[in-house]
Amino acid sequence: MTQFTTIDIAILIGYMIMLVGVGIWTAKRTKTTEDFMVAGRNIGI
């Protein structure tokens, strides 16, 4: 069985917080359903 250390848990929590932050940030930028479907037509390569 794998034992997680404190640093492992901190990295996982930090990653989850970052994902939630990006989700909230992008949700605020999305105004319409079309923006959601086509990423506002300004997505780069």
Q: What is the DSSP code string of 12-36?
A: HHHHHHHHHHHHHHHHHH--SHHHH
The torsion region of residue 39 among left (phi > 0), alpha (psi -120 to 50) and beta comes to left
Helix H or strand E encompassing 40: none
Measured between alpha carbons, how far is 24 from 32 in angstroms, rounded to an integer?
A: 15
Determine contact, residues 31/42, Cβ cutoff 8 Å. no
Q: State the pLDDT at residue 10.
A: 96
Q: State the pLDDT at residue 42.
A: 63
**What string of pLDDT tens digits covers the 45 residues of the chain?**
689 899 999 999 999 999 999 988 888 877 777 767 776 666 665
